[in-house]
Amino acid sequence: MRLSWDDYFLKMAETACLRSTCLRAQYGAVLVKNHTLISTGYNGAASGVRSCLERGECVRERLNIPSGENYEICHSVHAETNAIIRASFDLMNDATLYIFGISQGTPRNGMPCFMCWRMIFNAGIGKVIFRDEEGEKKTVNVKVVDRGRILSYAALEV
């Protein structure tokens, strides 16, 4: 059986997450336009900063910081952000961003955080496709979504 384009690119995002240097959760992102790969990213330490993998510990785990809080304490850059900063601005307009996440072999919700949503808006990305914690594919049409609602609520109905 042949994969759909969405499943094909989600598999690429899944492969990208295997490069992650985060000990808590691994995420991969793939930016695509017209079925052509523009950029990839995974969550990991900023350039020149020792990763949690190299340190042998996650600072956020040690401090018992819940997921989704106090990102400023983390050494990692999110997968979506890495994919965006490595892409040409002109190519990102109306592109699709695919996100996949896992933690200890279990699917993680790939819904972008509020910081990443702001970057997605400014990059002109048209659609975000990700898997939720049950592995279900979710799609957000960025061009028609109420952006204030995304930034105001912890969960977005997709």
The b/e string for 28-56 (b: 16+ C-beta within 10 A; e otherwise) is bbbbbbeeeebbbbbbbbeeeeebbeeee
Q: Which residues 6+ apart lie within 8 Å of 94 measured at CB?
A: 33, 124, 125, 126, 143
C-alpha 110, offset from chain centre: 6
DSSP state, residue 144:
T
Contacts (Cβ under 8 Å, ≥6 apart) of 23 = 52, 53, 57, 58, 61
Active-site option among 72, 80, 133, 157: 80
Q: Is residue 80 annotated as part of the catalytic site, yes or no?
A: yes
Task: Read off the tokens for 46.
Answer: 């900023």
The residues that are catalytic are: 80
